[in-house]
Amino acid sequence: MPEGSFVAILRTLSGAGVDFIVVGGVAATLYGSPGQTFDVDMVHSQEPENISRLLGALQNLDAIYRIQPERRLRPSASHPASPEHQNFLTRYGPMDLLGTIGRGLSYSDLLSDSVIMKAAEDLTVRVIDLETLIAIKEELATEKDRAMLPILQRTLEERRKLGYTPQQ
Amino acid sequence: MTPGDSEPLTDYSEDGVDLTLIRWMLSLSPAERLEVLQQHVDEIRNIQKLNAGR
């Protein structure tokens, strides 16, 4: 069976040495939340060296902006350096790069609230911790966030009952 | 928690979340959970393709 698109995107970024933290629905899934998502969301380091590595990875992923796919607009260095959200379509499917999440939390802000998890047998990625993911969704409280919150909160409760470590 | 533990198991939380799905997901490794999501997404995309233009 060919490698899934979520893992392929993560593997490409990881292989290029990009510093990023997986957030959103893929992070929730890694923690055992039975939700649904179609894209990979991540907060990336905005250090110049990382932006350079990221641009190389985006090129390998054949990433174009999702807003007008027919124009096949590609990112330049200034775009991933922005705190805004960048929504891409890649050769492996949709991927969103988030300069910040919540109330302006950046990669460096989130580092201490993240853990390393196995996304595949031979691939580890940094993932926002479930408590922080829930706190950000509670704070944002958009309709989509509110819809997801009960599932995330019950997942956290079940994990605690089972005594799971953050990496499990 | 497994059957036989002191706290009774319930299928749904008070706010309507299916706890059996969460427990099943938690029985898998993180990488396996991601595979489950990938399979569901792939299947939904296939169904969308089959129904495109209808």
In chain A, the N- to C-terminal Cα span, in Å, equals 25
Task: Give bridge partners of residue A22 from the DSSP assignment.
Answer: A42, A127
**A14 pLDDT higher than 70:** yes
A136 domain residue, yes or no: no
Range of the structural domain that residue A68 is part of = 5-129
A31 domain residue, yes or no: yes
pTM as predicted? 0.91
- Give CA torsion, residues A39, A45, A50, A54, to 10 deg: 10
- Dig out the tokens for A128 from the structure: 């926002």
Who has greater pLDDT, B27 or A36? B27
A155 domain residue, yes or no: no
Which CATH number goes with the domain that contains A54?
3.30.460.40
Contacts of A41 in chain B (CB under 8 A): none
CB contact under 8 A, A29 and B34: yes
pLDDT at B5: 58
Q: Does B31 touch chain A (CB under 8 A)?
A: yes
pLDDT at B3: 55
A168 domain residue, yes or no: no
A99 domain residue, yes or no: yes
Inter-chain CB pairs, A–B, below 8 Å = 82
pLDDT at B9: 80
SS (H, E, C) chain B: CCCCCCCCCCCECCCCCEHHHHHHHHCCCHHHHHHHHHHHHHHHHHHHHHCCCC
A140 domain residue, yes or no: no
Looking up tokens 């300069």, which residue turns up? A99
Q: Report domain extents, chain B.
A: 29-54
pLDDT at B49: 87
Residues A61-66, mean pLDDT to the nearest whole number: 95
pLDDT at A2: 44
Count: domains in chain A: 1
CB contact under 8 A, B19 and A158: yes
Q: What DSSP string runs through A93-109?
A: EEEEEES-BTTTB-HHH
A97 domain residue, yes or no: yes
Confidence of residue A69 (pLDDT cuts 50, 70, 90): confident
A152 domain residue, yes or no: no
Q: What DSSP string runs through A138-162?
A: HHH--HHHHHHHHHHHHHHHHHHHH
**A26 pLDDT higher than 60:** yes
pLDDT at A134: 97
ipTM of this complex: 0.88
What are the pLDDT digits (tens) for A74-109? Answer: 988 777 788 888 999 999 999 999 999 998 999 999
pLDDT at B4: 54
Q: Contact B19/A158 with Cβ under 8 angstroms?
A: yes
Least confident of A42-46, A87-91, B8-12: B8-12
Residues A18-43, mean pLDDT to the nearest whole number: 96
**B48 pLDDT higher than 90:** no
For residue B24, give how far its alpha carbon lies from the nearest alpha carbon of chain A (Å): 8
**B6 pLDDT higher than 80:** no
Q: Does B24 touch chain A (CB under 8 A)?
A: yes
**A1 pLDDT higher than 50:** no
pLDDT at A4: 67
